[in-house]
Amino acid sequence: MLKVLGIGDNVCDIYLHSGEMYPGGQALNFAVYAKQLGVPSAYIGVFGQDGIAQHIINTLDVLQVEYVRCRQYEGENGYAMVSLVDGDRVFIGSNRGGITKEKPIILKDADKDYIRTFNLVHTSNNSYFDDQLEFLHELNVPISYDFSNKWKDWERTVRICPYITFGFLSCGSMSQEETQQVCRKVHDLGCKIVTATMGSKGAWLYDGKLMLFQPPKLVEAVDTLGAGDSFAAGFLVCVAEVMEENPTRLDTDPIYLEETFKKALEAGSVLAAKNCLVRGAFGHGIKIPDAIVQKLIITGEKNG
């Protein structure tokens, strides 16, 4: 049975304009979206000991996403402050992962044994997990990595690419031609399958031979937060299902490979469009607790 795993960041996105907060984070989002697609999923990350962490944990319980290998330490959970402008999310600031930055995931033998039971692992540039990719790669489980727009840090990208099968790039401000060039460059660095999303301009995939374009599914967006993560999840689940059913055919049948990629790009686009109709990364918002509101006020005063 197909099983997928998200390793890395979790946050609450704090919507200052509405007084609500929603669970999220690239790695956590992937695990949740996969579960919504009917695929058993799990999450490994670091929680703080505050109201933000508790809301995320409660939500994972409700959604039945496994988190048995997570860590929890005294300190702030990760959070990001967000506003909406015409349905498009705008990030205002964050605590840069909170306790995850101080005490990131270091893989133990028990973690490695656990990870070997999954078909695919997804992580991200915000997960403070880069130095563990080499050890993760040794487990022979395909790795997906969301660079967001941080692929522009080429020194870091050069280090990461040899370990990953799937790479996701955010290229919304670039032209179609520029995006194709970036896909080729990232592939040349060692990433086997590169996907670049461009928001309302669609997405490109490059695997060293195929360069495929996926038109966007345009909707009247309520909230674009999580659109890229849901695209990645829809794509990855589709490809992972094929990899499990036909583990060698993708390597030996180029027509089947192209059909699979086209199907997966379509699945990602459909899920991303659907997700734009949901507030937060995947809903489950609550009123911001008074203690957190007060903390944000104090933090703002200090930074001001």
- pTM here? 0.95
158 φ, ψ (degrees, to nearest 5)? -60, -40
In the numeric block, which tokens belong to residue 155?
């020194």
pLDDT band at residue 87 using 50, 70 and 90 as cut-offs: low
| Long-range CB contacts (within 8 A, 24+) of 54-57 | 55/12, 55/21, 55/23, 55/286, 56/10, 56/11, 56/12, 56/23, 56/28
pLDDT band at residue 302 using 50, 70 and 90 as cut-offs: very low
- With contact defined as beta carbons under 8 Å apart, do 240 and 34 qualify? no
Average of per-residue pLDDT across 138-152: 97
| Chain position carrying tokens 């409660």 | 58
pLDDT band at residue 294 using 50, 70 and 90 as cut-offs: confident
Average of per-residue pLDDT across 207-233: 95
pLDDT band at residue 143 using 50, 70 and 90 as cut-offs: very high
* Amino acid, single-letter form, for residue 45: G
Q: Spell out the domains of the chain, with CATH numbers in brackets.
A: 4-292 (3.40.1190.20)
> Which of 87, 37, 64 is closest to 268 using CA atoms?
37
Average of per-residue pLDDT across 79-84: 86
> Tell me, what's the pLDDT at 92?
84
16 φ, ψ (degrees, to nearest 5)? -65, -30
**DSSP secondary structure code for residue 289 in this structure:** P
> Tell me, what's the pLDDT at 90?
77
The dihedral sign for the CA sequence 293, 299, 302, 304: negative
Whole-number average pLDDT of the chain: 94
Give the Cα separation of 134 and 217 in Å (integer).
36
- With contact defined as beta carbons under 8 Å apart, do 44 and 6 qualify? yes
> Tell me, what's the pLDDT at 270?
97
Hey, is 37 helix, strand or coil? coil
Order of strands, sheet of 88-94, starting from the edge strand that comes earlier in the sequence: 88-94, 79-85, 11-15, 20-24, 286-287
Average of per-residue pLDDT across 58-87: 92
pLDDT digits (tens, 9 = 90+) for 282-291: 999 999 988 8
pLDDT digits (tens, 9 = 90+) for 59-72: 999 999 999 999 99
Q: Name the β-bridge partners of 144.
A: 122, 166
> Tell me, what's the pLDDT at 298?
58
Q: Is the confidence at residue 304, as pLDDT, over 60?
A: no
pLDDT digits (tens, 9 = 90+) for 96-116: 999 999 999 999 999 999 999
Give the Cα separation of 88 and 2 in Å (integer).
33
